[in-house]
């Protein structure tokens, strides 16, 4: 049975990028994966100083609203860079927080689906025709963690 997640306060909310799990990357603390992801749209652009502003915003909703502000010009390579940015953030989250790591491993081989009604890239979209890239990435993280465990047993 597929496992659906989306909002942080709904079932499997700990899989959401909006869940309150801090990550530390290159010595900097980010309150959520979403803060890190949205801020990195501005890396190398004239608005780069705003990355620090986003990092300090109190909620992931505010971080997302700022990163999605279309008045801002985001980095030209975002279309290809965003996967790597997301991977680093999501992997760090699941390596850092043992409770969510356990929850992810306990999903076994189930299909994970980000049940976003409006995101057809990271999510399944309203009609289910979306790519579900976040769900797929979480399944990759799950395999990575499992491989890491078996390597440590050798
Ligand atoms: N969980 C969740 C969302 N989903 C997240 O939105 C991000 C995609 O942002 P963008 O590339 O700017 O469209 C990505 O992290 C995806 O997981 N969006 C929300 O508005 N609320 C939410 O609770």
With a 6 A CB cut-off, is 68 part of the ligand 1 pocket?
yes
Give 149's pLDDT tier (boundaries 50, 70, 90): confident
Cβ–ligand 1 contact at 37 (below 6 Å): yes
- Beta strands (DSSP E) in the chain are 3-5, 23-25, 28-30, 112-114
| CA distance linking residue 3 with residue 104, whole number of Å | 11
- Residue 78: is it exposed, middle or buried by C-beta count within 10 angstroms (0-12/13-18/19+)? middle
Nearest CA to ligand 1 atom 21: 7
User: Which atom in ligand 1 lies closest to the alpha carbon of residue 16?
Assistant: 1
- The verdict on the CB of residue 6 being under 6 Å from ligand 1 is yes
Contact 5, 15 (CB under 8 A): yes
* CATH at 129: 1.10.357.40
pLDDT, tens only, 26-74: 999 999 999 999 999 999 999 999 999 999 999 999 999 999 998 889 9
Q: How many domains does the chain have?
A: 1
CA distance 33 to 88: 9
Ligand 1 center to 150 CA (angstroms): 32
Mean pLDDT, rounded, of the chain: 97
């Amino acid at each position: 049975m597929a496992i659906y997640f989306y909002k942080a306060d709904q079932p499997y909310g700990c899989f959401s990028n909006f869940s309150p799990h801090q990550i530390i990357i290159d010595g900097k603390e980010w309150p959520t994966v979403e803060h890190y992801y949205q801020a990195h749209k501005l890396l190398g652009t004239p608005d780069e100083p705003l990355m620090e502003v986003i990092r300090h915003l109190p909620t992931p909703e505010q971080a997302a609203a700022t990163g999605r502000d279309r008045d801002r010009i985001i980095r030209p390579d975002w279309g290809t860079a965003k996967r790597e940015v997301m991977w680093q953030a999501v992997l760090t989250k699941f390596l850092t927080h043992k409770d969510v790591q356990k929850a992810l491993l306990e999903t076994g081989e189930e299909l994970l689906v980000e049940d976003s009604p409006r995101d057809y890239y990271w999510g399944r979209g309203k009609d289910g025709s979306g790519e579900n890239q976040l769900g797929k990435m979480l399944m990759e993280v799950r395999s990575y963690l499992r491989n890491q465990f078996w390597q440590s047993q050798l």
